[in-house]
Amino acid sequence: MFLDLACGPGYALREAANRTNGRGQLYGIDNSSKMIEVAQASSNGCPNVHFCKSQAEELPFDGNFFDVVMCSNAFHHFSNPEKAVREAQRVLKPRGRLYISDITANNVFMRIFDTFMHSLEPAHVKLYSRQEFRAFFERAELRYVSSVRSDVIPPIEVHIAEKSAACLHLKRRLIIKFSNILTRFF
Ligand SMILES: C[S@@+](CC[C@H](N)C(=O)[O-])C[C@H]1O[C@@H](n2cnc3c(N)ncnc32)[C@H](O)[C@@H]1O
């Protein structure tokens, strides 16, 4: 089970469908109806690829559903990135991984570039540093696994995080404990 957040016209999902020879189910969400229409029309021959219009910050999926969630070249558009990472954590299965690939602003030059992007692209919200990605992940109870840098300019990094199995077990234990306490009173 694979999810592409802000999938645009769906290139990544079609590539993934080709590589996996029709195995698994691949989902893409985007908040633009136009993008979803293009993605659906271009993926006619891929029965295991599905698209729906949705905000990355409010995903229409049950928890613990996906093995992999990815987001490519779109995180800097999210109005509530914190919530988007929390949603990705929610829909990931334990040990599932989140891959966010985006321009990463680790130095003062990239901060200036970020300001410049605001005037060039109206949908641009903010570029983040590696430390900021780490903080997003930690606040969402995701373990920062690593980042992979490319040599392109502007610098694109893939930030990889994992949902721990322990987190789910802890939540389950807490729910069981809480319901045991409640049954004593009612
Ligand atoms: C630059 S495109 C990248 C598309 C695709 N991921 C790719 O790499 O080709 C950014 C996409 O993010 C989508 N987007 C922006 N904010 C979003 C949000 N909050 N939730 C879902 N999609 C969003 C836009 O509609 C657009 O399709």
pLDDT tens per residue across span 71-119? 999 999 999 999 999 999 999 999 999 999 999 999 999 999 999 998 8
Evaluate: CB of 3 within 6 angstroms of ligand 1.
no
Which pair of tokens denotes residue 69? Answer: 């969630």
Answer whether residue 169 shows pLDDT above 60. Answer: no
In short, whether 83's Cβ falls inside 6 Å of ligand 1 is no
CA angle 170–98–120, rounded 5-degree value: 135
Structure tokens at 79: 């109005």
Question: Model-level pTM greater than 0.95?
Answer: no
Alpha carbon distance 72, 6 (integer Å): 8
Mean pLDDT, range 39-53, rounded to an integer: 93
Is residue 35 over pLDDT 70? yes
**Average pLDDT over every residue of 57-62:** 98
Question: How far, in Å, CA of 137 to CA of 89, rounded?
Answer: 9
Give the pLDDT confidence score for residue 165 in this predicted structure.
86
Q: Is the pLDDT of residue 52 over 70?
A: yes
What percentage of the chain exceeds 90 in pLDDT?
76
* C-alpha to C-alpha distance for 134 and 72, rounded to whole angstroms: 17
Residue 17's SS3 state is helix
Distance 118 CA to ligand 1 centre (A): 16
Span from the CA of 32 to the centroid of ligand 1 (angstroms): 8
Q: Tell me, using a 6 A CB cutoff, whether residue 78 lines ligand 1.
A: yes
Q: Which ligand 1 atom sits closest to the C-alpha of 32?
A: 25
Average pLDDT score over the chain: 92
CATH number assigned to the domain covering 55-185: 3.40.50.150
Kindly report the number of other CB atoms within 10 A of residue 104's CB atom. 25
Q: Is 11 in the pocket of ligand 1 (CB under 6 A)?
A: yes
Cross-strand pairs, 92: 66
Q: Is the pLDDT of residue 147 over 80?
A: yes
Q: Does the pLDDT value for residue 181 go beyond 80?
A: no
Q: Is the CB of 35 under 6 A from ligand 1?
A: yes
Q: What letter does residue 24 receive in the DSSP assignment? A: S
Cα 49 to Cα 65: distance, rounded to the nearest angstrom: 15
Range with the largest mean pLDDT of 13-22, 83-92, 142-151, 177-186: 83-92
Distance in Å, CA 11 to ligand 1 centroid: 12
**In this predicted structure, what is the pLDDT of residue 166?**
66
- Report pLDDT for 154: 85
Q: What is the pLDDT of residue 71?
A: 98
pLDDT confidence of 184, banded at 50, 70, 90?
confident
Give the ligand 1 atom nearest the CA of 123. 15
Which of residues 115 and 174 earns the better pLDDT score?
A: 115
From the CB of 141, is ligand 1 less than 6 Å away?
A: no
